[in-house]
Amino acid sequence: MSSPIAAPTRPTRTYVTGRVTKSLRALALVVSLAITTWILVRYPSLPDVLATHFGADGQADDRGPKWSILILAAVMLLLSLGLAALSTRPRVFNYPLEITEGNAQAVYREGERVVVWMALGVQVVYLGIAWSVLQTGGGAVLVLAPLVLLVAAIIGIIRQVRAAR
C-alpha cells in the first residue's frame, strides 16, 4: 500500500476534474453553509438547554447548553471545507493499491470522487443532527446517514480497484 508520505514520488495529476464532480463538491459546500445558516438564524430563539445526544430510538437522552450547537456548526463547516479541499489533492491519498504511471490518473479520479461523495454523506449527517436538535424528527435522516457514507466508501474502493487494472 502506498502512504501519503510517498505521494511526492507518485505521478503528477494531469486529468481534468469532471463537471459532475465539481458540481457535487460545490453542492456539499452549499448544503453545509445552508445548514450552518439555518442554525445561526434559529439560534436566538432556541431554549437555553438543547438535546445533544439521541438514542437509537430517536429520543433525546442527553442535554447541553445552547451554545453547544455553535460548536457543532463550526466543526461540521470546517469538516466540510476540509473534505472539499482534500478532494482536490488525490495524489496524497492512502490508496488500497499500488499507484503506477499507467493507473495513476484513473485511480486519482476515483479517489477524488469518493472523497466528494463522502463530503456529501457528511452533509446528510449534519442535516440529521441539526434537524433533530432544531426541529425534532431528524432521526430518519440520521439512520440514513451512515448508510450513505458506507455505500460511498464501498463503491469508491471498488471503483479505485477497477481503475487500477
Q: Please tell me the distance from the alpha carbon of residue 122 to that of residue 32, in angstroms, as a whole number.
A: 9
3-state secondary structure of 127: helix
Specify which residues 51 forms β-bridges with.
63
Asked if residue 82 is part of any domain, the answer here is yes
Q: Kindly state the cell numbers that stand for 65.
A: 447548553
Domain count, the chain: 1
Where in the sequence is the domain holding 99, given as residue range(s)? 4-9+19-163
Backbone φ and ψ of 53, nearest 5°: -150, 145
CA Rg value for the chain: 18
Asked if residue 57 is part of any domain, the answer here is yes
Asked if residue 100 is part of any domain, the answer here is yes
8-52 residue pLDDT tens: 689 999 999 999 999 999 999 999 999 999 999 999 999 998 877
- Model-level pTM? 0.86
Residue closest to 98 by CA, chosen among 17, 10, 5, 8:
10
According to the model, what pLDDT value does residue 32 have? 98
104-129 residue pLDDT tens: 999 999 999 999 999 999 999 999 88
46-90 residue pLDDT tens: 999 887 777 766 677 788 899 999 999 999 999 999 999 999 999
Asked if residue 14 is part of any domain, the answer here is no
Residue position matching grid coordinates 479505485: 160
